[in-house]
Every structure is written in C-alpha cells, then in structure tokens.
Amino acid sequence: MKRSNRLILLIGLFLAAIAFVGIILVLGGGGGDREPGIDATKTTMVVASADIPLGTLITADLVETQEVRNTDLPAGAYTTEAEVINRTTTTDLKKGQLVGSSAFSTVTLNADIGRLLETGRRAMSIQVDQVSGVGTLVKPGDRVDVVIGITGADKFPVVTTDPQTDQVSLVPGLNATSVKAIIQNLEVVGTLLPPPPNQEGTTDGTTDGTAPSLNGQAQIVILSVSAQEAEVLRFGQIDGTLTLVLRSPEDKEAPADETTGITLRQIVDNWAVIPPQVVETVLPNQ
C-alpha cells in the first residue's frame, strides 16, 4: 500500500513539473505556434533613410524600419513602410528621424517655421476662405499660384478734361475689373485653421447636424516668398483680393505659365463672351 502511494505521488510530481514547464514556455513567448526567430516583445518603426524636405512624396527609398521593443514604440509611430508610402510630408525630416503621424499633420502650425525656409526666402501669411483658399484644404508642402482681382472705377479711373474749364471728370460706365495670376508655384510652409464660426442654433458650424456648410471659414496660409513677391502680395491684400490655386505636387520644378490677364475686353474678344446689346424701342405716349 505504501508502495502504491509512493507511485501516485511520483506521478503527481511529474505532471506538476510538465505543467510548470508549459507555463514558462507560454509566458516566455516560446509557444510551439510561434515562428522561429520572432520576438513577441519587439516590433518595428518607420524612420527616414535620408533627409526628407517639406512637401516630399514619400517613396520606398526614403524610409526604412528599425527594430524596437514594444514598450519603447513612440506614440504616433508607423510600424510598416506601406503606411507612409505615397504620402506627402508637411514638415522637414532628418535622416534617422521617426516618420510618425506628426510628419503628415495639418492640425497645428510648426512653431519653428523659419527652419523650413530655403536661404533667401521669407514667410508671409495670406488669409483666405473656403472659396479663395480651395475649400481651406491647402496644407504645408503644397504648391499654389496666387491670382489677384482688382475692381472699382477708383482703381482704374478714366478721366476727361474739359478744354474750356480744364475741369477733370470721371468717365462713367467703365468696367474696371482686372484679374491676373501674378505669382506661380509658391510653396506652402504652414497653415492655421481656426475653429469654424458657429451658425445660429448650432454649436458645430453646421446648419442641420449632417455636414459642414459654406460658412466663410477663414484659413491662414503661410507662403515661402522672395522680398519682391512679398511686396506684390501685400499690394494685392491692400488694393484687391487674392485667391490661391492649388497645383499638382509634380509641379515643383515646373516653369511659370504665360497668362494674358483678364479684363472685360479680353473676355469679349478672346473667350467669346457676348456683351449686351443696346435695344432701341419707342415708349408709348403717357
């Protein structure tokens, strides 16, 4: 009887030892269903394999992955190269720097925006809205053209002088509107989008709780300009209106297009717009 009890005790100890070893293997990541050489405590993060300027379309040769422990993975990090390929950076990245969600962020303005400028360039802000700013969808790294519109008889006055009295008078009826693409292919180095204005009866800038409406929301777009371009844009801010036209990211090295500018005469002569005709009629006797 004693011998039987001793055998049962030995069997119990043996089974307990097997269970203990199994628990150690599971907790240590050595389960039989795991691929050889895979460490469950580690992962990868995407970093720049070269210096990447603002506005660069990420390609496979610009990024690589580095192995890190799961506990050391930075917030916002991407773990595979496929997650960042064909995305455009909204800030500069240095070789070896993490390529995380902040590399493509358009939510905040880079406080060190001067660092993004090439030598000899300046940063200048332009205020636009949903119509003049491509729906406020312009983001850092984009390329834009600037179109100026000037209107008003006092901006392009045509005057005559009475030969008898030398009195100067304004010629009435002149269409004094002129539109021109004045600067092309400027780089956007920053944007600032304040919260949309609330409309009456709402708290989120929508009219019916479904989708944002055209509410005149403003956007500040910061452009990289030369000193001369800054003067031209400032004149447009004071004496006209400025509109941004979004370009393809492939246009970074494209030459400027030759444009004519548009006035009423240009519209009628070159674009087949039909001007109104004077209609003569006889009014009935009163």
CA atoms of 180 and 185, how far apart (whole Å) = 14
Q: Which residue has the higher pLDDT, 99 or 161?
A: 99
pLDDT band at 119 (very low <50, low <70, confident <90, very high): very high
Model confidence pLDDT, tens digit, residues 44-54: 999 999 999 88
pLDDT (mean) for 205-224: 68
More confident site: 142 or 197: 142
Do 63 and 86 form a contact (C-beta atoms < 8 A)? Answer: no
Give residue 39's pLDDT. 64
The pLDDT, as a whole number, for residue 41 is 84
pLDDT value for 25:
62
> pTM of the prediction?
0.68
For residue 96, give both structure tokens. Answer: 């070896």
Least confident window among 77-86, 183-192, 209-218: 209-218
Whether residue 42 has pLDDT greater than 60 = yes
47-100 confidence digits (pLDDT tens): 999 999 888 889 999 999 999 998 889 999 999 999 999 998 888 899 999 999
pLDDT, tens only, 221-254? 999 999 999 999 999 999 999 999 999 988 888 9
Distance CA 53, CA 112 (A): 14
pLDDT at position 203 is 42
Residue 182 has pLDDT above 80, yes or no: yes
Cα dist. 172→155, 251, 277 in Å?
Answer: 13, 43, 18
Q: Domain extents for the chain?
A: 42-104, 119-270
The strand pair at 122-128 and 219-225 is best described as antiparallel
Average predicted confidence (pLDDT) for the chain: 82
pLDDT on residue 207: 41
Is residue 115's pLDDT more than 70? Answer: yes
DSSP string, 116-154: GSPTT-EEEEEEE-TTTTGGGT--TT-EEEEEEEE--TT
Query: What pLDDT score was predicted for residue 17?
Result: 74
Q: Which of 5-9, 146-150, 192-196, 276-280: highest mean pLDDT?
A: 146-150
pLDDT at 20 exceeding the cut of 60:
yes
Q: How confident is the model at residue 27 (pLDDT cuts 50, 70, 90)?
A: low
The reply to whether CATH 3.90.1210.10 applies to domain 42-104 is: yes
